[in-house]
Amino acid sequence: MAEELTAEEKKLLSEMETPELDKGEEALELPEGLEKSLAEEKEKAAKCLDNWQRTEADFRNYKKRAEQEKEELTKWAVSGLILNILPVVDDLERAFASLPVMSKDSSWLDGMKLIQRKLLAVLEAQGLSEINALGETFDPGLHEAVVYQEGDEGKVIAVARKGYKLNDKVLRATQVVVGKGHGETNTQPEGSAETDKGEQG
């Protein structure tokens, strides 16, 4: 047994005596150009990872954009219907404003006003809101000037037709009378006179 152990020990010692440097040198004995190929492949892998990350980020942005567009489309899906209803709202307001004083206390009129309020409540629930114009500075993004009259320059001094927004976007601009300063004669916006002539013709 002692001799067998001595033989095993010799074998172990023989393996342990192999220098680490030799092992390293053996590991470096690679085919010519392999190290360069490995570096190129690592570079390709890094580029692929970068491209994949960019693509993933682009897809996330696209998905977010598509969801926003879908939400906007849903909000504006009723815009055409509301635009067709607004003239009815205008007619109701004009009708109530032109009623004789004596008839304003009748019960049927109260019923009609209740119907008007319900209609406006339904429209407001869809995101409709009135544009405040009277006394405000004229804003071409919100207002449509139909005539200029003597008054505070650049200010809306009267409203000819109410305007509305749908979910914070202008659905119908407010038609307004704009002040042109004091001591000026009434004038129409450029193009209005010719438009009126065309309509008369």
pLDDT tens digits along 175-188? 999 998 876 555 56
C-beta separation of 76 from 166 below 8 A: yes
Where are any strands of DSSP class E within the chain? 128-130, 143-149, 156-161, 164-166, 169-172, 174-179
What Cα–Cα distance (Å) separates residue 33 from each residue in 29, 46, 49, 143, 166? 11, 20, 24, 74, 68
The residue with tokens 């909000």 is 75
What average pLDDT score do residues 99-120 get? 82
Q: Which fold has domain 79-190?
A: Nucleotide Exchange Factor Grpe; Chain A, domain 2 (2.30.22)
The string of pLDDT tens digits covering residues 52-65 is 888 888 888 988 99
The string of pLDDT tens digits covering residues 143-174 is 999 999 998 898 999 999 999 999 889 999 99
Q: Is the pLDDT of residue 106 over 80?
A: no
What average pLDDT score do residues 69-87 get? 85
CA distance 21 to 62: 55
Average the pLDDT over each of 4-8, 26-30, 114-118 and give the range with the smallest value.
26-30
CA atoms within 13 A on the CB side of 158: 9
| Length reported for the chain | 201
Beta bridge partners of 181: 151
